[in-house]
Amino acid sequence: MTDANKSYYERHIFFCLNERKNGEACCAQHHAQQAYDRCKALVKSQGLSGPGKVRVNKSGCLDRCAAGPVAVVYPEAVWYTYVDEQDIDEIVESHLKNGRVVERLLTPPHLGR
């Protein structure tokens, strides 16, 4: 890849933090904010953040509510469903740091809203 085509960040991870007020399922009901905070802190503490590296972003609804909570890593477009801090730790270590997809946390492709 030439410098002109190189992305500003190597990877982005977006965490859905959407909260639905009408009682419908949403990622916010599943501690998505805490997962985002943990991921951001780990990426920063491990020196993985910044240009040419990783960016951790908040997102509104990603329309995968039935699989929530969800996060997606680009440019690979890998969707994750996570449960706890250990899952976030594994995503950071395996995928964001070493480029290896965490197969056990992949969001089932048929789950949408």
Mind listing the pLDDT tens digit for each residue in 72-86?
Answer: 999 999 999 999 999
Residue 57 lies in a domain: yes
pLDDT at residue number 1 = 46
Q: Please confirm whether the linkage preceding 75 is cis (ω < 30° from 0).
A: yes
Q: Is position 61 within any domain?
A: yes
> Residue 113: inside a domain, yes or no?
no
Mean pLDDT of the 22-35 span: 90
**CATH classification of the domain holding 61:** 3.40.30.10
Q: Is residue 25 part of a domain?
A: yes
Domain that holds residue 58: 3-105
Q: Residue 45: inside a domain, yes or no?
A: yes
Tally of domains in the chain? 1
Q: Which residue has the higher pLDDT, 29 or 88?
A: 88
47 in the Ramachandran plot: left (φ > 0), alpha (ψ -120 to 50) or beta? left
Per the DSSP assignment, residues forming a β-bridge with 13 are 56, 73
